[in-house]
Amino acid sequence: MKVMVVEDEQDIREILKNLLEDEGFQVVALENGINILEDLSRDVPDLVLLDHILPGKTGVEVVREVRSHEKFARLPIIMVTGLSGEDDKVTALDLGVDDYVTKPFYPKELAARIKALARRTEIEPKQNRLTRDRLTIDFAAHRVLLDGHEVQLTLTEFKILSELLKQSGTVLTRERLRERALGNLNVTDRTIDVHMASLRKKLAPLGNQIETVRGVGYRFAH
């Protein structure tokens, strides 16, 4: 997931960049929002973290500009503001930002807010079924078919497999698994391993297509 950070103060920009990269995000950092539409078009992020007070164009002006462009009308935006008064909150939300964070921010809270927003705004897959190789997932019916035969999975296994197949070929990090499939950031690695082992067993002939990427996570290989 890619986050665009717009922040004029270099030290804060660096802190945000490092923090978000540590949390597994890709980061594009900008010093200002003067050319925001061009910057967005060149490298479309999943979410924008926008400072309120910026040189050239204020955060508010940047939001207006972004929102006025059809392509970015629904792009998730979190505003980082030094103002904590109720009025300012209301103004920010009225403007069409999805959330705001007041400085000084707590790194973990900021990361959690970003993830929560990403989850909330994610567009659900249009089709209700997804087929990869010999596996078909029916999201609506919560069923998994292997060569046309139903495989009985627990809800957690179903969610893990869904995430793996949605991004098959690329690595699903443990972090994302915790967040998306398990719904709990405090689940231990050991617990994830147990779910994974069970899932591999149930998918027997395809079990080894779920690869462990050491130190990172898992991947469903094509």
Residue 8 or 133: which CB sits closer to Ca ion? Answer: 8
- Cα 15 from chain centroid (whole Å): 20
Residue 50 or 192: which CB sits closer to Ca ion? Answer: 50
The total number of residues shown for the chain amounts to: 222
Provide the pairing of β-strand 217-220 with 171-173. antiparallel
C-beta of residue 29 within 8 angstroms of C-beta of residue 60: no
Q: Is residue 8 within the footprint of Ca ion (CB under 5 A)?
A: yes
Instruction: Candidates 7-15, 65-73, 173-181, 214-222: pick the segment binding Ca ion (CB under 5 A).
Output: 7-15
Q: How far apart are CA 177 and CA 160, in angstroms?
A: 7
Q: Is residue 53 within the footprint of Ca ion (CB under 5 A)?
A: yes
Residue 110 or 177: which CB sits closer to Ca ion? Answer: 110
| DSSP-derived secondary structure letter, 56 | S
Q: What residues numbered 74-133 form the site for Ca ion, per CB under 5 A? A: none
Instruction: Candidates 8-16, 67-75, 92-100, 192-200: pick the segment binding Ca ion (CB under 5 A).
Output: 8-16
In sequence order, the 6+-apart residues with CB closer than 8 A to the CB of 2 are: 25, 26, 27, 28, 43, 44, 45, 46, 47
Q: How far apart are CA 154 and CA 34, in angstroms?
A: 50
Strands ordered across the beta sheet of 217-220: 171-173, 217-220, 210-213
Least separation in angstroms between CB 5 and Ca ion: 12
Instruction: Candidates 45-53, 100-108, 178-186, 191-199: pick the segment binding Ca ion (CB under 5 A).
Output: 45-53
Question: How many residues of this chain interact with Ca ion, rule: CB under 5 A?
Answer: 3
Residue 23 or 51: which CB sits closer to Ca ion? Answer: 51
Least separation in angstroms between CB 53 and Ca ion: 4
Q: Which of 23, 39, 51, 157 binds Ca ion (CB under 5 A)?
A: 51
Three-class SS of residue 172? strand
Location of structure tokens 């923090």: 19
Residues that bind Ca ion (CB under 5 A): 8, 51, 53
